[in-house]
Homo-oligomer: A and B are copies of this chain.
Amino acid sequence: MKHVIFGIALALLAIHGERAAAAEQSSPAESNVFGAPTPSISERGLTFTLRAPDAHSVQVAGGDGLGPGPFPMTKGADGTWSVTIPAAVPGFHYYWFVLDGVAVNDPSSETFFGYGKETSGVEVPESGADYYAITDVPHGDVREKRYFSKSTGGWRHAMVYTPPAYDKDLKARYPVLILQHGSGEDETGWTRQGKAQLILDNLIAAGKAKPMIVVMERGYAERVAAPPLKLGAGTPAVEVKAAFGKFEDLVVRDLIPTIDASYRTIPDREHRAMAGLSMGGMQTLFIALHHLDLFAYIGSLSGPIYPDLNSKQTLGSPQHSPFNTKTAYDGAFSNPSEFNSRVRLLWLGVGTAEPELFRTGIGAAVQSLKDAGVRVVYFESAGTAHEWQTWRRGLNDLVPRLFR
C-alpha cells in the first residue's frame, strides 16, 4: 500500500470539509481532530457518525456520564452510520464505536488513554464553567521528564507542570503536588482529560492558588518485564496493598528525589502534597498516610475506601467492616490531635451521581473521621458521576487549599 502521504492525508481533510456541510447548526467538539465535524453538539444532543458501508451493526457506547448506552446507530444511503443521543452531562466522556461487535475508536476524535488503551473522547461544554478554559492569562509548561527508576529497573517518564513564572524568576522555588490518575489511565490523564494545567493557570492568575509544580506519573510500578498487574474490585485488600506498595517505592525512592534534583522545589513535607482520583486516590491515602514525614497535604478524589488494608476483604464485598478510625490505614488516624497538628489538609471528594460503592464508602469514612475529631474537608460535585468533570471540580476546590 505505497502512497504519497502528502496527497492522502489532505484528501482526507477534503472529505471532512464535505461532511461538515451536512452538520449545520451544530458545533464540532473541541476534542475532535482538526477539521472533523463530528462528534458535534447541538440543541438536539450529541451526534456521532461513522462511514462503514459494509458493516452489519454499529453502536456508540461510552464511559460514565455519556448516558445509558450502547446507542444503536442507523445506516444512511451513503454508508455513513449516525445517531444523535440526548445531551450528555457536561465534561469529558470516553466513548467508542461497537463495529460488528468490536470496540473501535472514532477516527474523528483525538485519543485519550483510558481503559488500558487509547480511547476516543468527547468534550461537552459546561455553560458558565470557565475555570478549565484556556484564557488570556500566563500559562505554565507541561513537560515530559525522563528518568531511570531503580525500584522498577527501567526508564520512566513523568509529566511535570511548571507554573507560568517558572522560567522568568530563576531564583524562586516552588511547592510540589503529586497528582495521580485513575485505573486504566496513565500519566497523561490529568492534563489531556482533566485540563489540570489550565485549572492551575487560572487559579494562579486569579491569586486563588499558590504557584506550584504538579507531577503526574503512571500509577503502576511493576518491575520491567514483570507480568501486567491483575487488580480489580474483587481483589483482596491485602493484595491491593502489596501492589500499591510497589508504586509507593517508586514515589518515595525514585520520583520525589528525581523531581527535587531536577526542578526548583522546596523539598520538605510542608511543601509537598499528594492527591489522586479513583485508584489514584486510594494510592494517595495509602502512600501519604504512611509517609507523613514526606507529605502535609493529602487529597482523594472519588477514591474508594478500604476499611482494612490488611484484610482479605474486597472493595465491593457486602461484609465490609465499618471504617474504624483506630485501625484504618495502619492507625494513621488513631491519635486525632496529633494527626491534626501534622496534616495541614485531608481532603475527600465524590460526585453525587457516582455509584453507591463510592458515595457511601467515602461518606462513612468522612463521618467517622469527623466524629473522632479528625479535621477533614469533604467536597461533593453535584450531579456528576465517576468521571472527569467530578475531578476537574474537585481539583479546582482542592488546589487553593494547598500550601497555606
Q: Give A contacts to B, CB under 8 Å.
A: 1-14, 16-17, 20, 33-35, 50-56, 61-64, 66, 68-70, 99-105, 107-111, 113-118, 134, 136, 139, 141-148, 155, 160, 167, 170, 182-186, 191, 218, 220, 227-234, 262-263, 278-279, 304, 315-316, 355, 357, 385-386
Contact = CB atoms under 8 A, between A and B. Distances in A.
Copies of the chain in the assembly:
2
4 cross-chain pairs, A with B, having the tightest CB-CB distances, nearest first = A9-B184, A35-B228, A54-B101, A7-B233
Contacts of A155: 134
A136 B234 CA distance: 40
A61 B175 CA distance: 49
Given A9-B184, A12-B115, 12 more contacts: A1-B66, A6-B231, A6-B233, A6-B279, A13-B116, A13-B230, A16-B116, A17-B227, A52-B101, A54-B100, A55-B102, A99-B102
A229 B102 contact: no
Contacts of A7: 232-234
The A interface is mostly helix, strand or loop, or mixed, namely: loop
Contacts of A142: 143-144
Nearest to A105: B105
A247 to B, nearest CB: 14
B9 A183 contact: yes
**Quick one: which of A3, A6, A110, A116 has the most chain B CB within 10 A?**
A6
Contacts of A185: 9
A183 B5 contact: yes
Contacts of A146: 134, 139
B183 A6 contact: yes
Given A52-B101, A279-B6, A17 B386 contact: no
A4 B51 contact: no
Contacts of A385: 2
Contacts of A218: 34
B6 A304 contact: yes
Contacts of A134: 146, 155
A393 B182 CA distance: 38
B10 A183 contact: yes
Contact of A230 (B14, B33, B55): B14
A369 to B, nearest CB: 23
A110 B229 CA distance: 19
A183 B2 CA distance: 16
B102 A64 contact: no
Contacts of A63: 1, 3, 5
Contacts of A62: 1
B100 A56 contact: yes
B105 A118 contact: yes
Contacts of A167: 262-263
5 contacts: A1-B66, A5-B64, A54-B102, A55-B102, A105-B118
A115 to B, nearest CB: 5
A99 B104 contact: yes
Given A1-B69, A62-B1, A141-B160, A100 B17 contact: no
Given A64-B3, A145-B141, A9 B116 contact: yes
B4 A357 contact: yes
A296 B186 CA distance: 41
B68 A11 contact: no
Given A4-B357, A115-B12, A148-B136, A100 B141 contact: no
A63 B35 CA distance: 22
Contacts of A52: 100-102
Nearest to A166: B167
A63 B8 CA distance: 11
B12 A116 contact: yes
Contacts of A5: 63-64, 114-115, 182-184, 278, 386
